[in-house]
Amino acid sequence: MISKKRTSIKTNQSHIKVVIAGCGNYGRNLAITLAESGKEVIIIEKNREKLETLSKLSIQNDLIVGFLGDVTISEDLLEIDIGTADLFIATTGSDSVNALAAQKIKLMYGVDDVICIMSDVSKQKLYESLGIRIVNHTEIAIQSLIDSSLES
């Protein structure tokens, strides 16, 4: 289900609410996994085509709501009621946009638990020291390559 701007998004009190920025491969698959474990998921994405890939999902996905908007803009964040989120995960293709969104949502909207996907290792320490959890996909890929080459 895709929600356009200016429609209210119903929030169900009993679910854990997760907001994901970015509806690329990371965001979409993360949303499916979280929804399958019963979490309520809102994906915010500014590219309409990417967002529409949600409607092709085969799983029963009442729990995933797509929202067309910009995660760095307050107006859009207020529209999805960001302050009520239990967890925010930034998965856009830009480390910088992820860092901006994560800090904004933590500091301005009081969402304590924020996770940021990054590809550059050198920024990790800085943002971890600011209370943002960093998942570095370069590091993970390298680690799993090392692990699998040791096994063989």
**Is 53 among the residues that bind other proteins (CB under 8 A)?**
no
Q: Are strands 2-3 and 114-118 parallel, antiparallel or unpaired?
A: unpaired
Q: Count of residues for the chain?
A: 152
- SS3 of residue 82 by DSSP: helix
CA distance 63 to 124: 31
User: Does the protein bind other proteins through residue 100 (CB under 8 A)?
Assistant: yes
The half-sphere exposure of 139 on its side-chain side, counting CA atoms within 13 A, is 10
Q: Does 97 bind other proteins (CB under 8 A)?
A: yes
Residue closer to other proteins (CB basis): 29 or 96:
96
Q: How many CA atoms lie within 13 A of 126 on its CB side?
A: 9
Nearer to other proteins, 64 or 71 (CB): 71
Told to check if 73 binds other proteins by CB under 8 A, we report: yes
CA 144/CA 78 separation, integer angstroms: 39
Q: In this chain, which of 11, 53, 61, 103 binds other proteins, going by CB under 8 A? A: 103
Minimum distance from residue 39 beta carbon to other proteins (Å): 27
CB of 102 to other proteins, least distance (A): 11
Q: What are phi and psi of 106, to 5 degrees?
A: -75, -50
x-marked contacts with other proteins along 108-137 as a string, rule CB under 8 A? x-----------x-xx--x--x--------
Q: What is the contact surface with other proteins in residues (CB under 8 A)? A: 72-74, 94-97, 99-100, 103-104, 107-108, 120, 122-123, 126, 129
